[in-house]
Chains A and B, each alone.
Chain A
Amino acid sequence: MVITVALDRSSEDARPFIEAAGARHPSLIDTEHRVADLYGMINVPTAVWIDEGGRIVRPNDALFGNDNFVQFHGIESGPRIDAIRRWVNDGVRPLAEDDVRRFQALPTAAQQLARAEFALAWHLHQRGDTAAAERHFNRAGELSPLDLTIRRGSMPIRGLDPMGPDFADLYAEWVQAGMPYYGAIPVGGKT
């Protein structure tokens, strides 16, 4: 089954997407970015595959439902969706257990500090301390410049357009860095 988690500042930001999807799966709201912290997520959309025993069988990776924006991120939807079907329908493990560990991008100290700075910024923003919040959003972005849950995720909070010119600069920086999601994790079932 699918569980979606919206890394949004409010259920109202997430609502249009959840309702448009019309899905009956649990569609959860994560205003504190708790799941991003627990799993070391640095961008969306990110998928983690978890088996019946609660074990991670494929670590954080990008997952798109279509190829509408493939020219921007380079991640094809087809092979991953096929692999999901093989896993769900035929029980084909996507990766051997050792490879799951090998392809996990474990968080660094700087990334965790960035998350603390972002969380402080969010708290300060919510209590009306906008100037102080801005200081810590900036600091979070300096500590973890390729964490888009922080750098792009903070834009709506700060009154910036996450689809606008500020994102254009960030996108250019991201492309320059090699369009890093989580590294090249093999797609496809293992024999």
Chain B
Amino acid sequence: MSTGKEKDAKPTTTTTTAPEEHFTVIDDGRALDVRAHIGGSRVRLAHDVLRNALGIEIKLQGLCRGAVCVPIRDTAVLVTEDGIDLATCADRLGCPLALDIEARAAYLGVPAPDRGRDLASLDAPDFTLPDLNGRLHSLSDYRGKKVLLIAHASW
């Protein structure tokens, strides 16, 4: 969405156009290298980048991710010519965000209410993990048997 700006164009009152940089966004365990505009303590992603990388977009209903849309009241904070502010996005959607501007990386976590809702349904959340031989196993592979799921560690 960022248009080419002349090098000596005057900065706007809200923000200057920051150059695009590589930035790592990690979502659901997948690390994605995206283009971002970094200015001060803000990371902004172009609309198409945010949509393609994180499934987040601005629609008529507001800021949307999947089936969830939240109304936007402070568009000027959320959206500038550099794109959509990642931290504000995460905050509005209730997603925990671990952000490191200097390291050019962020991890988008799962909201507590989502986890709570899933657990309170009493349906055991499914997962797929490897064994020592690298063979993948899913919890759902063992449907039909009683399962004692035990987490342990060397520490």
Contacts and interface: CB of A to CB of B under 8 A. Distances in A.
Interface residues of B, number: 51
B26 A120 contact: yes
Q: Is the interface of B mostly helix, strand, loop or mixed?
A: mixed
B24 to A, nearest CB: 8
Contacts of A52: 143-146
Contact of B146 (A44, A45, A87, A101): A87
Contacts, number: 215
Indicate the size class of the contact surface on chain A. Answer: 35 or more
Contacts of A152: 155
Interface string A16-48: 111100000011111010111111110011111
Interface string A64-108: 000000000000000000001001100000000100110010111
Contacts of A173: none
Contact of B96 (A51, A116, A129, A136): A116
Given A38-B115, A52-B146, A88-B146, A129 B103 contact: yes
Contacts of B130: 11, 28-29
A99 B57 CA distance: 40
20 contacts: A3-B147, A14-B153, A19-B132, A28-B137, A35-B149, A35-B151, A40-B115, A41-B151, A45-B152, A48-B124, A48-B148, A54-B143, A115-B96, A119-B26, A120-B26, A123-B31, A124-B103, A132-B100, A155-B155, A156-B154
Interface of A: 1-8, 11, 13-19, 26-30, 32, 34-41, 44-56, 59, 63, 84, 87-88, 97, 100-101, 104, 106-109, 111-113, 115-117, 119-121, 123-124, 129, 132, 135-136, 139, 149, 152-153, 155-156, 162-163
Interface of B: 24, 26, 29, 31, 96-100, 102-103, 105-112, 115-116, 118-120, 122-127, 129-132, 137, 139-140, 142-155
